[in-house]
Structures are given as structure tokens and as C-alpha cells.
A and B are shown apart, each in its own frame.
Chain A
Amino acid sequence: MNLDFTVVPRMTDLLLWGVMWTVILSVLSMVFSLVLGAVFAVVRLSSYRLLRWPVQAISWVFMGTPLLLQLYVVYFGLAELGLNLNAFTAGVIALSLHFAVYNADIIRAGIQSIDTGQYQAARSLGVSHLQAMRKVVVPQALANVTPALGNMMIALLKESALVSAIGVMELTLSAQRAISQTFRPFEFYLAAAALYYALNLVLQQALRLIERRAALTR
């Protein structure tokens, strides 16, 4: 076996391009999946059946099927129905919804763990249900579930590799492109793995900072 990692630096630009798009894709999907997750959680705990039901359905679909198929359906399937999304947008949508559903479950459990006295104290002051949730209950729930959500974000970053399957030029697809030019699969797959690992280290540091801030106020 003759491994030759000197080929890797020759493809630096291509790989950095991939890193950049993996970061953009992941960060956007993280933000959307968290916001949507919080909305889904509040809706599923609300008394409005008309809202609760569709969210429940989304939750079943996106938890019960593989992410890869979800990507195909959003990209190719919707195109057949006349909704032409570019691959990047389709990737963000599928990743966001897939992880929003898991985040919603985590946040919902977090909300249910907040003492009902908190909600009642807010309502006793005359603020509405939504205001009490948004200002009092959800922020505390989020602070409690920050570690669990952090783990989902780490998973999201890694799973974003699947978006290469619909042709988004992110890190995994850049590595494959490099391989097709150099015929060096092992070197480039390892290089890509190392880059994912490095990104995850950065993400973990960021999460640690957020967790510390969330814990500070209590």
C-alpha cells in the first residue's frame, strides 16, 4: 500500500470550497431547525388541534423515513410537481425539517419539565399564553436542553454530508471530485474526515460557551 498525502495540498482550493459550503449549509440548517423545532414544540403543546395535527404528521414523516430519501423527495420529487428548488435550497429544507422534528421533541420535553408555577406566575400578571411561553417558559426550557440540542447540531453537521447525493458541492462532494481527478480515494476521504472532525471541534467549543452562558443565570 502506498499512501501519498502530498496529493492533498494540491486540491486545497477545492476542499476549502467544500468546507465553506458545508459550514454555510449546516449553520443555516441549524438555525432553521432550532427555530422550527421551538415552534413545532409550542404548537404540539397547544390546544389548537387544527395546528397540532399537521405538525404531528410532519413529525411522523421526518422521523420515520431516511434523511437520504427526504433529500431526494424534496429535490427531485418536488421538481416533478413543478417546484424547482436548487440543490442547496432543497438540502437546507430537508436538513432543517429532519432535525426540527427531533429538536421539537427535545424542546417539548424541556418545556414539560418547567414548573407550571412559572407559567401561572406569568399568566397571573395578565400576559397572554404566547407571551408567557415566549418570555418565560421556552427560554428556560431551551437553557435546560442546550446539551441535548448541541448533540443534535453535531449530528446535523455530520449528516450534512448526505446532501452531496443531490449534487451540492459541499465537503464530501469536493472530496469525491478530488478523487475523480487524482484516483486517490483513501487520501481524500481521510482528509475530508479530518476536516469534518476539525469543524466539529470548533462547533463543540461554541456549544460549550453557549452552555456555560445558559447555566450562568441559574
Chain B
Amino acid sequence: MQDTKREPLIRIRNLRKSFGPLEVLKGIDMEVREGQILALIGPSGSGKSTLLRTINQLEDVTSGEIWFDGTLVNADLPHRAREKHLNALRRNIGMVFQHFNLFPHMTALENVTMAPVLLGLHTKAQARENALRLLAKVGLSDRADYYPSRLSGGQKQRVAIARALAMEPKVMLFDEVTSALDPELVGEVNRTMKQLAEENMTMVIVTHELKFAADTASHIVFMADGRIVEEGPPDQVLRNPLQARTRAFLQQDFAE
């Protein structure tokens, strides 16, 4: 099914990142192939969010390389050129955040149409039509004209997913998108992500929900202390881990 000979969509090489004296990523090598559903797991503070955010350069890096679709993401450019370069890249990299970050002064529909209209991807009418289609897809047709303050957490997160999809990205990055939700709202967001996975969207999912990762992901990466400890298919990493560090993490997590 997957053409494994093709260049991976994302390729990360010996990536290092420090916040002041604190080294958070200590040489990461990782690949994401087209259509792959990669789940990134690991203890809190291990650098998962930071790694995800370097991919679209919300976080810059100290050294190493990030390649996206044949382009060096962290190319060393003068400020203006870098901004243009990043704007072009970010259109193709959707991101969904733990705390939704919906624009509170815009309706659900306006949240979804803002970027496509600003960037000239669609006319206002096209963007609206497209946004209504996406809101329908995430099950929120009837909430298009609601402001975020009147939506539940699960609804907000689904609008945020629609907002990212409106740019027609080649990959979607999810950073613990259900961990700020009440437990009864987690399912609806997970179902939306599963639906995307079934449509062959390339996805990188940071999650602490091991069951969801096992059900959805095609590849699991386990990180600890800024390093990738172990990776492989879910059956291997989650059921028969090779590393003691992974076993300890899984045991602790299941014990909780």
C-alpha cells in the first residue's frame, strides 16, 4: 500500500534544542512517511511538544535538520526571507493544540475561513462553502455561527481541527489534543481523528492515551529525556517493548 521507496514527508536529522542551559532535544532522528499515523508517546517533560513544534518552527532549533516535502525547514535565511519561507511551509502543516487556541472574537465559521481568505487560497464565498463542508465533516454543521465561548471543549477542538484542515495541509500535527477535555468529551475528538486517519491523512499525534495510540497509529515513537528510546509498530512497542525504559513507562501508565 505504501510506497516505501519515496522520500519521507518529514525527515528529522540529529535535531538538538536547548532552552538556555537546558537541553530538551538531544539528537532526534525521525521520519514520517506519507499516509503514516505516527503516535509520539513518553513521560511528561520528555520533549514531545517541543519536537512537534520544531516541525513548523513555532520553536526554532539549536542544531540539526528538519526536511519537509523536500525542503529544509530550518534553512538559515535572513529574517524576511525566513518569514516568507515559513509562511509557505506552514500552509501545508496543520497543527492542533492542547488548549484549542480558537480565536474567541470569531464564530466557528470565521475561525475556519480566516486563513484561506487572508492567504488568497479561496474567495470569501468559496472559503465559506469549504468551511461549512469541513464543519459538517467534524459534526458541527449546526454550530457554524457560534462563538467559541458557547461551545463545549470537544466542539472547540473539532472546530480547531476543521480550521487546520481548511488549508488543505499535507500533514496534521496534534499536541495532546484531548488532555484538556472532560473525559466524556474525549471520544468525539478521537473519532474525528480516526476518521482523518482512515482518509489517509498523514498525522503526527502526541498523546498520553495509549489505547487510542494502539488503535489508531501505524507507528509508535517512545521518547524519554529528549531522546527516542524505541520505535516501531504498535504491537511491538506497546505489547513487547525491547527497552526497559519503555516497559517501565508502560507499566506505570497502566497502573495509573
Instruction: Tell me, yes or no, whether A binds B.
Output: yes
Give chain A's interface residues, CB within 8 Å of chain B.
Answer: 47, 115, 117-118, 120-129, 131, 135-136, 139-140, 143, 217-218
Which residues of B have CB within 8 Å of A143?
Answer: 105
In the complex, which of the residues A117, A120, A126, A129 contacts B119, with contact meaning CB atoms closer than 8 Å? A126
Q: Is B101 part of the contact surface with A, judged by Cβ < 8 Å? A: yes
Complex Cα–Cα for A123 and B87 (A): 8
Query: By the criterion CB–CB under 8 Å, are B99 and A117 in contact?
Result: yes
In the complex, which of the residues A117, A129, A135 contacts B101, with contact meaning CB atoms closer than 8 Å? A117
Which residues of A have CB within 8 Å of B104?
Answer: 140, 217-218
* B163: nearest chain-A partner, CB-CB: A125
Complex Cα–Cα for A72 and B88 (A): 50
In the complex, which of the residues B86, B89, B90, B105 contacts A140, with contact meaning CB atoms closer than 8 Å? B105
Which residues of B have CB within 8 Å of A118?
Answer: 101, 103
Q: Is B48 part of the contact surface with A, judged by Cβ < 8 Å? A: no
Known: A117-B99, A120-B97, A131-B118. 18 other contacts (CB 8 A): A118-B101, A118-B103, A121-B103, A122-B114, A124-B56, A124-B58, A124-B93, A124-B94, A125-B163, A126-B87, A126-B92, A126-B167, A127-B87, A135-B114, A135-B118, A136-B114, A139-B105, A218-B147
Which residues of A have CB within 8 Å of B126?
Answer: none
Complex Cα–Cα for A218 and B150 (A): 9
Complex Cα–Cα for A108 and B251 (A): 49
Query: By the criterion CB–CB under 8 Å, are B103 and A128 in contact?
Result: no
Which residues of B have CB within 8 Å of A127?
Answer: 87, 114-115, 118-119
Which residues of A have CB within 8 Å of B32?
Answer: none
Interface residue tally for chain B (C-beta within 8 Å): 31
Q: Is B16 part of the contact surface with A, judged by Cβ < 8 Å? A: no
Complex Cα–Cα for A121 and B53 (A): 11
Query: By the criterion CB–CB under 8 Å, are B103 and A126 in contact?
Result: no
In the complex, which of the residues B88, B99, B102, B167 contacts A125, with contact meaning CB atoms closer than 8 Å? B167
Query: By the criterion CB–CB under 8 Å, are A126 and B97 in contact?
Result: no
Complex Cα–Cα for A115 and B102 (A): 11
Q: Is the interface of A mostly helix, strand, loop or mixed?
A: helix
Which residues of A have CB within 8 Å of B92?
Answer: 126
Which residues of B have CB within 8 Å of A124?
Answer: 56, 58, 90, 93-95, 164
Query: By the criterion CB–CB under 8 Å, are A121 and B101 in contact?
Result: yes
Complex Cα–Cα for A140 and B97 (A): 19
* B57: nearest chain-A partner, CB-CB: A123
Complex Cα–Cα for A95 and B48 (A): 52
Which residues of B have CB within 8 Å of A125?
Answer: 90-91, 114-115, 119, 163-164, 167
In the complex, which of the residues B102, B105, B115 contacts A126, with contact meaning CB atoms closer than 8 Å? B115
Which residues of A have CB within 8 Å of B118?
Answer: 127, 131, 135
Complex Cα–Cα for A131 and B91 (A): 14
Which residues of A have CB within 8 Å of B56?
Answer: 124
Q: Is B235 part of the contact surface with A, judged by Cβ < 8 Å? A: no
- CB 8 Å contact bits of B89-131 with A (1 = contact, 0 = none): 1111111010101111100000000110011000000000000
Query: By the criterion CB–CB under 8 Å, are A218 and B90 in contact?
Result: no
**Smallest beta-carbon distance A134→chain B, Å:** 9
Complex Cα–Cα for A120 and B93 (A): 13
Complex Cα–Cα for A117 and B175 (A): 13
A selection of 28 A-B contacts at a CB cut-off of 8 Å is A47-B79, A115-B101, A117-B97, A120-B101, A121-B103, A121-B160, A122-B114, A122-B115, A123-B58, A123-B86, A123-B90, A124-B94, A124-B95, A124-B164, A125-B90, A126-B87, A126-B88, A126-B91, A126-B92, A127-B87, A127-B115, A127-B118, A128-B83, A140-B103, A143-B105, A217-B105, A218-B104, A218-B149
**Smallest beta-carbon distance A203→chain B, Å:** 24
Residues B146-162 near A (CB distance < 8 A)? 147, 149, 160
* B149: nearest chain-A partner, CB-CB: A218
Complex Cα–Cα for A218 and B107 (A): 10
Complex Cα–Cα for A118 and B93 (A): 17
